[in-house]
Structures are given as C-alpha cells and as structure tokens.
Amino acid sequence: MTTLNPESTMGSVISLRHLQRIEGMIFRQSGTILAGGARLTGPAPLDGFNFSKGNFLPPTVITDVEVNDEIWQEEVFGPVVVVKRFKVCRSAVKPRVWVNFIRFKNEQEGLALANASKYGLGAGIWTSDLSRAHRIAADIQAGLVWVNTHHRNDPSSPWCVLSLHIIGHVWGLNTRSRGGMKESGIGRENGVEAYNAYSQSKSTIVNIAPAEETRKTDDWFAEVGAAQRYG
C-alpha cells in the first residue's frame, strides 16, 4: 500500500518522529481502543508493500476519552478518531485528520463541550433546523462556521480551519492551523481582514496651492488661521 499506488486510500504518517508522537498519545489516553492503535508491519494486503519500510498507522478508533486528555485536546495529525458517548455514527476519516465525535444531551452541553478547548478555527453544523444552526453558530467560539457543508469558502470570508460537525446530536471536531479564535493560527487569509493584515494604512497630504497662497493659509503659527488647521 504505497502512497503512489492509485488503489490506495491512505498514506503514511509524515515521519517516524511524528508516528512515535501519535503512539505516545494513544498510550497515554484514558479511553478504550476499538480499532487500530499500533503501527502497521508486514506486507500490505493491497500490493504486498512492506509496512515496516514506512511510518504507517491503521485507522484508529478510541472511545470514552476524557475531554482533558491530550489526544482529545491536541491535534493528532494522524488517522485517529476519538469517540465520546456515541451511539450510531458513520464517518469516512481521511488520513492525518483528527475527528472527535460526542453525543450531547442538549445545546448547552454541546456548546460547552465544543468551546472547552484552547483552539477555535472553524465549525461545521449539520442540521435540518436552520434556526438551531444560526443559534449555535452565534455561540461557537470559532473563526468560521459552515452550515450543512464543509470547506466551502467565499473569497470575502476570512479563512480559518478547525471544524466541529454536528450531525443530529453528534458533533465532530477536526483541527488545522490558520486563523480562527483563541490560540488557533497566526492570522487571517481572504476577506477584508486579510487585506488589512497584509497591509499598512497610510495618509499622504499634498498641497498644490501656489507658494504665496500657502504662506497666507497654511501658517500654523498664525493665530487667525488656527481654526483652519484641520479643515
């Protein structure tokens, strides 16, 4: 299952060091590993590639993790999904995307769980109730909110990327690092906010009046003309 194999749907972790970091986070977490959790070795069923020659971790599902656990609070950047109080939820998890699913009792609990993080990039709300979507979007501490879509972006919208998914009463969270609220990212892309971030405002005032007129009207030390300084 090499990354170059067109039949492959998943690649390797970026480096051995990062694979070891993910393994450490999995080892230290407080939940239960339902699938995966250990690096791949031996031949790949797809094409016989030796997993030991790369940094491969299988899709990993962990449940009942405490929200203050490192693996819940931090970005994993690996094929790891963390599930908390979950009933039925189907999700295709892409490599190197961190997703948390939590089932909540009401909106207040869901918002508290969603905002209980030092990060706040983007949010995705999936619901048939648009009133609820607007209500939740206003209270989520994230720099960008999607409703019933994901990663669509208008050029006039500041670009930020952490995401929280609400499917019925199930939320998912994946994070990346650009823009947003709290400790997420270092600025903005797109929109007027990005234009302002990448530029510096400046005023240039040019007097085109003749010198004689200027001496009469622009004498800052003349008592008579004092009222005209900012006119």
- 10-38: per-residue pLDDT in tens? 889 999 999 999 999 999 998 999 999 99
Structure tokens at 179: 């823009």
**Given 3.30.43.10, 3.90.1150.10, 3.20.20.70, 3.40.309.10, which CATH number is that of 1-94?**
3.40.309.10
pTM above the 0.85 mark? Answer: no
Q: What is the pLDDT of residues 34-49, one digit of tens each?
A: 999 999 999 988 888 8
- Where is pLDDT greater, at 180 or 56? 56
- Where is pLDDT greater, at 16 or 88? 16
- Where is pLDDT greater, at 172 or 61? 61
Indicate the domain borders of the chain.
1-94, 104-203
Q: Is the pLDDT of residue 204 over 50?
A: yes
Q: Is the pLDDT of residue 93 over 50?
A: no
